[in-house]
Amino acid sequence: MNASFKKVFSVLLCFSILATLMAPAVSAAPAADVTDISVEGTQGNDGWYTSDVTLTPVAPGSLISSNGSDWQQSIVVKGDRTSPFTYYLKDADGQESGAEKITLKIDKTAPRIRSGSAFKDGGIYCKTVSGGIVEEYFDKILVDGEPIRYTQDDYDEIKYYFTINTAGSHTVEVYDKAGNVLTANITVNEDHVYGDLVQTKAPSCTVRGNWEKQCIYCIHKVIISSTDAEMDQLHDWNEPTFEWAEDGSSATASFTCNNSELHAKTLDAEITSEVVTPATCVEPGETKYTATVELQGQTYTDEKIIKDIPISAEHAWEEPQFVWANDGSLAYAEFVCGNSSEHNKSVVAEVTSEVVKAATCTEPGETKYTATVEMQGQTYTDVKIIKDIPAIAHSLTKVDATQASETKEGNIEYYICGDCKKAFLDAEGKTEISLEDTVLPKVEVKVVKGDANADGKVGIVDAKLVLKYVAQMQTLSDKEYKAADMNNDGNVTVVDAKLILKLIAGINNA
Ligand SMILES: [Zn+2]
Ligand SMILES: [Zn+2]
Ligand SMILES: [Zn+2]
Ligand SMILES: [Zn+2]
């Protein structure tokens, strides 16, 4: 209880004592038998009531009044109050008491949170929370069962202020003297809990942008502005102007910003090159140079084509024409360039040879001559086949002449080649002759009938010879046999001997 409250209370107390003292002077003396009343109500702490209080005379038939004229069975005294209550009693005989006083402390009102305070049951706070409590008969504040400090302010109503700085969930209980309690469960977070960052001002290269993040539990918010470096990434660059070195080896790209003339940038480009048209022996070649720069994640390029490849010493040689010596011992190749007939060249070829067909005694052999030239790393060849290996001599063997007989053909003298089987009259193989022409026909056989011994005459001797043959004492040649076969029956018999004898006789007779 603070000092000023104590003072008010003591003033009221003095007044009531004074009133009690003065009472007998203004009303009749109190009756001895009506001093007792019953007091009914909900009892709080320390003699306080937390409900309205009903005063009822104890003596049967007695009545009670708050002003001495309006008599009732009982009186309800309404709270809140702490001042003494004055009442009058009248007993069953109509005997009235004087003014009586009873001290009644009634507090029906629990402490309440000051209107407009952020502190409330179920509240979630960041780092700290302050509460304001309104309570006329304040007693104490407990946080998690422990009393805490508070400050008091009685300016318009009696208020108590407190602050909780400890993170965690807490139960706050505020008690008044009567024992009424205000309970609030709250949570204090260690720090703010922010929601998403929201853009509130779009940035550009000339305007600093803003983003905000708001605590989801309190009004606290954080504002973030774009930095110079970030703004430097937001230019609205125009297509750059490229400036090239004469030889294409370097280039710069100059940018201007659409948003401000003050924003300009010149960058050295990266250069790559490629041959787009190779040089020939009549025309220089072309190189394409590409300049590339990157700015704010975008790539810009420019191209420059320069005729900077010197005329080539290499020609577009066509297939050469080969010119040969008749005997194949020498050749050269005549080249003409496809780009210009003024570009031409004769190159002596390297000639190699090989026998592709050996000579025989009838045919000359063949040699293949190969001419090879190299030109600009390429090899060209030409081939010529010449019949330049003389035929070899026949290998002749002499065949002696043989006489033809009645039974056997003969032949003339000639020479025969063991390789080609051809026949020649001379030892040099110059005059060829067919093999048939070397043959001499058999000699014709002349048979004289009866001339069995072929001595040109038919006589007794022949008949005797036949008889000897028949007696198997003699053999006969073919010719003799035909001459002996007089009757031409294919057999030589005694009949033939008789016919020979007849012939001799006939001859002799003539
Ligand atoms: Zn917060
Ligand atoms: Zn700009
Ligand atoms: Zn050429
Ligand atoms: Zn031959």
CA of 314 to the centre of ligand 3 (A): 7
**CA-CA distance, 413 to 422, in Å (whole number)?**
14
Distance 215 CA to ligand 1 centre (A): 5
Per-residue buried b or exposed e for 457-477, using 16+ beta carbons within 10 Å of the residue's own CB: ebbeebbbbbbebbeeeeebe
Categorize the per-residue pLDDT at 417 as very low, low, confident or very high, splitting at 50, 70 and 90: very high
Q: Minimum-distance ligand to the CA of 191?
A: 1
Q: Which ligand is nearest to the CA of 421?
A: 4
Kindly give, in sequence order, each residue whose CB lies less than 8 Å from that of residue 361, ignoring residues fewer than 6 positions away.
391, 392, 393, 394, 395, 417, 419, 420
Rounded distance from Cα 423 to ligand 3 centre (Å): 64
Ligand nearest to the CA of 422: 4
Please report which ligand is nearest the Cα atom of 265.
Answer: 2
Alpha carbon distance 176, 133 (integer Å): 11
Q: Are 281 and 311 in contact (CB under 8 A)?
A: yes
Q: Which domains does the chain have, with CATH numbers?
A: 3-106 (2.60.40), 112-189 (2.60.40.10), 198-231 (no CATH), 241-309 (no CATH), 321-389 (no CATH), 396-440 (no CATH), 460-509 (no CATH)
What was the pLDDT predicted at 479? 83
Ligand nearest to the CA of 392: 4
Count Cα atoms within 13 angstroms, Cβ side, for 340.
Answer: 9
In DSSP terms, which residues pair with 255 in a beta bridge?
A: 265
8 A C-beta contact, residue 269 and residue 254: no
Q: What is the pLDDT of residues 192-246, one digit of tens each?
A: 999 999 999 999 999 999 999 999 998 899 999 999 999 999 999 999 999 999 9
Query: HEC string of 267-322?
Result: EECEEEEEEEECCCCCCCEEEEEEEEEEECCEEEEEEEEEEEECCCCCCCECCCEE
Centre of ligand 1 to C-alpha 128, Å, is 9
Residues near ligand 4 ion, CB 5 Å cutoff: 361, 394, 417, 419-420
Q: What's 188-242 look like in SS3?
A: EECCCCECCCEEEECCCCCCCCEEEEEECCCCCEEEEECCHHHHCCCCCECCCEE
Mean pLDDT over residues 117-130, rounded? Answer: 94
- The share of the chain scoring above pLDDT 90, in percent, equals 77
Spacing, Cα 195 to ligand 1 middle (Å): 10
The per-residue pLDDT for 509 is 52
Q: Given pLDDT bands bounded at 50, 70 and 90, which one contains residue 35? A: low
**Can you tell me the distance from the alpha carbon of 133 to that of 152, in angstroms, rounded to the nearest whole number?**
9
Q: Which amino acid, residue 149?
A: R
**Ligand nearest the Cα atom of residue 360:** 4
Question: According to the model, what pLDDT value does residue 158 have?
Answer: 85
Ligand 2 mean position, distance from CA 93 (Å):
106
Give the C-alpha separation, 81 to 336, whole Å. Answer: 133
pLDDT of 172 over the 70 cut: yes
When comparing pLDDT for 482 and 168, which is higher? 168
pLDDT tens-digit profile of 318-330?
999 999 999 999 9
Task: Residue 226: count other Cβ atoms within 10 Å of its Cβ.
Answer: 21
Kindly tell me the sign of the dihedral angle through the C-alpha atoms of 109, 111, 115, 118.
negative
Partners of 327 in the β-ladder: none
Which pLDDT belongs to residue 396? Answer: 94
**415/393 Cα distance (integer angstroms):** 13
Give tens-digit pLDDT for 38-61.
999 999 999 999 999 999 999 999
Distance 320 CA to ligand 3 centre (A): 14
Distance 233 CA to ligand 2 centre (A): 8
Q: What is the mean pLDDT of residues 298-307?
A: 97
For residue 203, CA distances in Å to 99, 102, 207, 210, 222 come to 83, 76, 5, 7, 17
Query: In the predicted model, is pLDDT for residue 187 greater than 70?
Result: yes
| Closest ligand to residue 129's CA | 1
For residue 191, what are the contacts with CB-CB under 8 A and spacing of at least 6?
126, 127
Query: Which positions ≥6 away from 247 have C-beta within 8 Å?
Result: 306, 308
